[in-house]
Structure 1
């Protein structure tokens, strides 16, 4: 019984921390979007886009390339926030009496697909940044990509374990 209450406490703490991280990422995504709009109106604002990100040289080179790079950064931030939203949903559906639910499996699979999407977007951004460096000599923001493919695979494996848990749980419910 003591382990159940400890597990419940850990899940409750994780739920609160996930909400905090989600709100933080939503604020970050909004800040990137607002600073981009401001920089389109006032090109000087591209010097300090968000978190001291200086894309002024890229903005002066091409507004389209600037928009392209900021779109990648914005997409990754929004996708991370969506992953946290899905995690909040999954944590709210976890029941320690019957922990394996098909809804949680679907959410975990969706999380793994979104993480795979983040990896792809980050790779596309990094390829674009590399091409900009070669062709125009402009260095821009590279996004971390490697960990997302690993985490996507890990979450997908966990979702498959949960799927098997759902099957075993439903078999046990039928035999009782």
Structure 2
């Protein structure tokens, strides 16, 4: 197996750490766009990555080009549910409740955690997730559109989450600098 490692690059977690622990919305938007595109392409090709997180995204520091890496927890994408937990540092809530999850819906949740971590500098806690689920979460340093996308991805009920193929159509991505 041959793996590509762009140079110069670091993982997005280290990149965020070198930028004070969190990223600006514009930088996070660029990374989120590329990560979502990579996740979408994986799903279209029948691959469930299962472990999308900052450590599994390499960023070329001079071009800000992203590569999704580490498919060790991956699986073939199926229409049926997954009954075993693998990867995803932050497990989607349906796995806790029903001991199962669906690939695309779990991918959306992990992208929501990724976005939250990039712009907030931490993982969402219960104190964040409750208002997120109620669609009443906001953060002073974030735009309403960014908060709305986080809420759309991190809904507890998977049926209430935004579809993977709709993420890049969200109004947050339409706003220009």
**TM-score, normalising length from structure 1?**
0.29
Structure in which a larger fraction of residues adopt helix:
1
Rg larger in structure:
1
